[in-house]
Amino acid sequence: MEIPVLQDILHTNKEMAAEIADLLKEKRVYMINLMSSPGSGKTTLVDKLIGKLKDRYRIAVIEGDIKTTKDAERLVKHGIPVIQIETERFGGDCHLESSWIRQCLDQFDLESLDLVIIENVGNLVCPSEFQLGADERVVVLSVTEGEDKPAKYPLAFNTSQTLILNKIDLLPHLEYSMQELEANLKRVNPAMEAYRVSATKGDGIEKLAAHLAARIDAKKTQ
């Protein structure tokens, strides 16, 4: 008797992610996928980064949340295209899937964009399991979450290229060991590029904007 073997259910997500990557390559649009626990400061960062980059680059945002359009509402002041995905409408998933990203991209005029920012659903586990076709996967970790997160949630860190360590303005109030964080990161993903920022105070935002600008420019000239 032949035993049915369960197939990798993520394969269609992966295939669509590959299609998205091809489409973005053809259109020379850079896309980042921001992932983190709830409340680490993703929307605050996106707001600040758009403020720094919007005079030079044409930007669109895809916001992912289980419910509400609150994050998208915080960004409309920039006058850029913003689409909110409420996953509750698709079963309440704690992550974004590539088919939804494709639908959003189809609503944007990709010819007139340089950068798409995806803010994934606040969750340090599920989003990292789903490829979305982004050029860069970015983990946002706030200092109040502790130094042990790379060790406890390795997938998010070892499938991402960049770490944004946020809320550094709170360090004086915490017993935080930067050495311990760095040791954990080194063990999980030694190649990860790390930026220390305070999204609210603005520290480190300029450097982060320069990091993105270099990558957007590189994609334009590929």
Q: Site residues (CB under 6 A) for ligand GTP?
A: 36, 38-44, 71, 122, 166-167, 169-170, 198-200
Contact 58, 72 (CB under 8 A): no
Indicate which single residue of 33, 43, 166, 198 sits in contact with Mg ion (rule: CB under 5 A). 43
- For ligand GTP, which is the closer residue by CB, 23 or 66? 66
Of 39, 100, 104, 48, nearest to 77 (Cα)? 48
Work out how close the CB of 193 gets to ligand GTP at its nearest, in angstroms, rounded to a whole number. Answer: 19
| H-run or E-run covering 63 | strand 59-65
Query: Nearest residue by C-beta to ligand GTP?
Result: 122
137 makes contact, choosing from ligand GTP, Mg ion, none, with CB < 5 to 8 Å by partner type, with: none
- For ligand GTP, which is the closer residue by CB, 13 or 198? 198
Work out how close the CB of 169 gets to ligand GTP at its nearest, in angstroms, rounded to a whole number. Answer: 5
Nearest-angstrom CA–CA distance, 56 and 36: 27
Of 192, 195, 40, nearest to 120 (Cα)? 40
Indicate which single residue of 13, 45, 57, 71 sits in contact with Mg ion (rule: CB under 5 A). 71
- For Mg ion, which is the closer residue by CB, 43 or 166? 43
Query: Nearest residue by C-beta to Mg ion?
Result: 43
> Strand, helix or coil at 31?
strand
44 makes contact, choosing from ligand GTP, Mg ion, none, with CB < 5 to 8 Å by partner type, with: ligand GTP
CB neighbours (10 Å) of residue 136?
16
- For Mg ion, which is the closer residue by CB, 72 or 209? 72
Report how many residues bind Mg ion under the rule CB under 5 A: 3
Phi-psi region of 28 (alpha: psi -120 to 50; beta: other; left: phi over 0): left
**Parallel/antiparallel/unpaired status of strands 136-142 and 193-196:** unpaired
Q: By CB under 5 A, which span of 43-51, 101-109, 187-195, 214-222 interacts with Mg ion? A: 43-51
- For Mg ion, which is the closer residue by CB, 71 or 135? 71
162 makes contact, choosing from Mg ion, ligand GTP, none, with CB < 5 to 8 Å by partner type, with: none
> Strand, helix or coil at 6?
coil
Each residue of 194-218: b (16+ CB within 10 Å) or e? ebbbbbeeeebbeebbebbbebbee
Binding site for Mg ion (CB under 5 A): 42-43, 71
